[in-house]
Amino acid sequence: MLRLIYLRNNLIRNRLRTLLTCAAVALPIMIYVLSMAVVDGVERFLDNSARQLRLAVTHKTSLVNPLPEGYRRKIESLDPERKGITSVCGMRWLGGKIANDPRPLQTMAIDADTFVATFPEYRLTPEEVAAWQRDRQALVVGRATAAQFGWKVGDRVTIRGSVPPYAPMEFHIISTAERAEDPITLGCRRDYLEEKLKECGYPYGLVSFFFVKCATKADVDRYRVAIDQLFARSPDETRTQDEKAFMSEFVTQQFDLPRRLTILAAVTVFVAVMAAANTMSMNFRDRISEIATLKSMGFGGTFVFTQIQAESLLLCLVGGAVGAWVPYFAFTWTPLKDYTVPVIQVLLIRPAVCMQALVISLLIGIVAAVWPSWAALRLKVVAAMRSLE
Amino acid sequence: MALPLRYNWRNLFVRKLSTMLTFIVVAAVVLVLSVLLSFAAGIRASLAVSGCPENVIVLKPGATSESTSVIFPDEVNRIVQAPGIARDASGRLLVSQELCVQATLPRRDNPGAVANVAVRGVDDIGFELHKGVRLVEGRRFRPGALEVVVGKAAHDRYAGLGLGDEVLLGRLRNRRFKVVGVFESGGSALESEIWAPRTSVADSYLRVFCSSALIRLADAGLVPAAIAYINGPAVNLDAKRETDYYKDLSTKTREIVVLTTILVGIMAVGAAFAVANTMYAAVDGRRREIAMLRTIGFSRGAIVVAFLVESLLICTAACLFGLLLSLLIHGSRQDYLSDATWTVLAFELKVTPTTMLVSLSLAAFVALAGALAPAVRASKTNVIEALRKA
């Protein structure tokens, strides 16, 4: 009890200093939480890819080279009974923009019949699936994109693709994929795109990549090799990777965001340590005589040591809690939650990241108090008392 | 009368640890700021020098970059009708049809990793239109040969692009192109590319049509008319100034700048709190001294200024140190994958004078914001009370 009262009084005896230190810890922790949320987002994105047991089949020499759509039948023929390969889905990148708006869209033209089976994480309702299958102009819009453009189910939108046929195409929004993992991408039917390509006289029957959904992890490994063997020495050889490897290539090429943000997070934690250490050493200096008195009264070295550690821990924990809570609140409950970030799309701050930040702030507290508490432990009472005025 | 600077300077060393910790905090913030800014500056510098004001680039409407655009020969025939196109000395129209494809090449510093490098098929006339392009080693490719010239940045960053090396290109990566030259273009985006004869590229990549057309007008004043002609019903394509095209490609830079501002802003406020903390401690520890100064005739203003100067001294020194550290990365080459062209763009990190100025003003802001309240408190010290405590 005595310890707690002493701790409390210590923290409020210089309220301003306590407040400033909390803020100086809270702000770097905030940056830590924000940058780690991005890193975490990338990892979650990749983990989802890994969980889905999908293979991505692309052209061997470059991602931008298309593959013939007929490859789908050949891949399917590897497993006629559909035991290992559940479904194969071809996709073609369309990109696109709407008229008079510079914001680019990520539209993919997807094989209509196998989309739902291959990408169960879109979690379309049975009605939406029915609409998707019925309407050739169906469009599934990610919820963040829908929010940005103010679109809702039932709207008609005209998108002009960034690749052939470059023509304006009208779509009917049948779903805003509220429960999908991916809140950005727009999915339309590939048969509609094919029709448009033929109409405008562009080469058709080509896809950018195939996604192959497998039944088990063993099948993923087996067909990864088997598919490439199937097309070996053909005009268009393939490169098959599991989806996680395929996606992480995208992520690292774009500024290598995870690595850079981790460095930034480390620097900010370092800054927080320095700021907290500064306070603790100032506290120690101000209280040298007090500590000497305590010791001379018979309070052991452990008492002063733990007292200083506890003060520092509490200080940093409060700062850390504020620093973690503010971005959590901002990106969970305010309009900021629809803010989209390159690569990882929507910034979702998970409680796990906040917990991590709290642990880090505890560590900051410990490190910041190392020198003062050690010095207090070793303080020679006689020497300290002698220097008293 | 103001207090001598020497007083402030010596005061910094009274509380060595505090001063040092504050110094480190500010230096770290400045370091982060200048690194982030130099990224943005590097990209911007590379895209800013790309393009020439008399040039107009023509793409298919809807295409976001050269690599997603396709232009048919009949469209080229209509483009050349545009008014005001310049001619070279031998009377050829300055119109360059270009074909943009890509090659996946291993990186020089990390051979396990690959990069998507832009390959541009150009005719001889292309060298006339891309004014800044200048060969620094070797020679130009011969038309129709399996030869390439490589940009300096590409040559430095990707493996197998030395003079005399052979590089595998083509849709099936089965054509051996010989590197016969290295070119420079004042640090522009073109330096990240590989250039080859258009016909060889078309043949190797099974591409019949070109991606874009570049035209040179006789005078920059003729540009709007030519753009209007091409965008209009006569040609019906999407023409824009070459400089604008590269400006649009730099949207990513703006994202970086916005992100940088937010992050560094938060960090700067945190640093200001740390500085305030230190300065408050300095004030508290020197009550008697301040009272003494006031007694011997220094005004309140002089005291405020003294503390502000002290804080400025720490922060400026820290800022200079942070900048010095960031100079270590100055000039190092980085690249990023442009989301518009889907190819890598190499750039040099640049710690520009602007970056330095911004860092200095940030440090000054942190110093003043952090020290103002403590300094005012110091100036309000009750002289009699503080002296009596002695």
Q: Is A106 exposed, middle or buried (0-12, 13-18, 19+ CB in 10 A)?
A: middle
- pLDDT > 90? residue A207: yes
**Which residues does chain A have within 8 Å of residue B18's beta carbon, measured at their own beta carbons?**
278, 281-282
**pLDDT of the residue at A389:** 47
Instruction: Return residues 129-148 of A near B (CB < 8 Å).
Output: none
Q: What is the reported pLDDT for B37?
A: 85
Chain B, 266 to 325: residues with Cβ < 8 Å from chain A are 266-267, 269-271, 273-274, 276-278, 280-281, 284
**Is the distance from CB of B80 to CB of B93 less than 8 angstroms?**
yes
> Could you say which residues from 322 to 341 on chain A have a Cβ atom under 8 Å away from some Cβ of chain B?
none
The kind and range of the H/E element at B387 are helix B383-388
> pTM score, two decimals?
0.82
How high is the pLDDT of residue B110?
Answer: 80
| pLDDT bucket at A388, cuts 50 / 70 / 90 | low
Q: How far is A93 from chain B (nearest CA, A)?
A: 11
Interface check for B50 against chain A (CB to CB < 8 A): the answer is no
A84 touches chain B (CB under 8 A): no
**A30 at the B interface (CB within 8 A)?**
yes
Is the model's pLDDT at A344 over the cut of 60? Answer: no
**Regions of chain B with pLDDT less than 70:** 1, 252-253, 256, 389-390
For the ranges A118-122, A344-348, B110-114, B281-285, the lowest mean pLDDT is seen at A344-348
Joined together, the tokens standing for residue A15 give: 């309220």
pLDDT at B386: 82
Contacts of A270 in chain B (CB under 8 A): 28
Q: What is the mean pLDDT of residues A46-58?
A: 90
> CB B273 to CB A20 under 8 A?
yes
Give the pLDDT mean for A353-374: 91
Q: What angle do CA A184, A189, A193 make, to 5 degrees?
A: 110
**Of the candidates B68, B271, B278, which has its C-beta nearest A163's C-beta?**
B68
**CB of A281 within 8 Å of any CB in chain B?**
yes
- Residue pair B75/B90 in contact (Cβ under 8 Å)? The answer is no
Residue A254 burial (10 A CB sphere; 0-12, 13-18, 19+):
middle
Say how far apart CA B152 and CA A194 lie, in whole Å: 41
Give the closest residue to A17 by CA, choosing from B283, B19, B381, B268: B283
Distance between CA A96 and CA A162 in Å, rounded? Answer: 5
Neighboring chain A residues of B16 at a CB cutoff of 8 Å: none
What residues in B contact A277, CB-CB < 8 Å?
A: 21
Contact by Cβ (8 Å): B109, B115 = no
Interface size between A and B, measured as CB pairs under 8 A: 143
Contact present, B57 and B267 (Cβ < 8 Å):
no
- List, in sequence order, every residue forming a beta bridge with B134; answer none if it has no partner: B184
Which pLDDT score is estimated for B338?
77
Task: Compute the CA torsion angle B156, B159, B165, B168 (nearest 10 deg).
Answer: -130
For residue range A330-343, what is the model confidence (pLDDT) as tens digits? 888 877 776 666 55
| C-alpha–C-alpha distance, residues B256 and A148, integer Å | 21
What is the average pLDDT value for chain A, to the nearest integer? 88
Handedness of CA B262, B268, B274, B276 (dihedral sign): negative
Question: How far is the C-alpha of B372 from the C-alpha of A228, rounded, in Å?
Answer: 68
Percent of chain A's residues with pLDDT above 90? 45
Q: Would you say residue A385 has pLDDT above 60?
A: yes
Instruction: Count other C-beta atoms under 10 Å from residue B39's C-beta.
Output: 22
Kindly give the residue spans of alpha helices, DSSP state H, lying in B3-158: 5-12, 16-48, 73-79, 126-129, 152-157
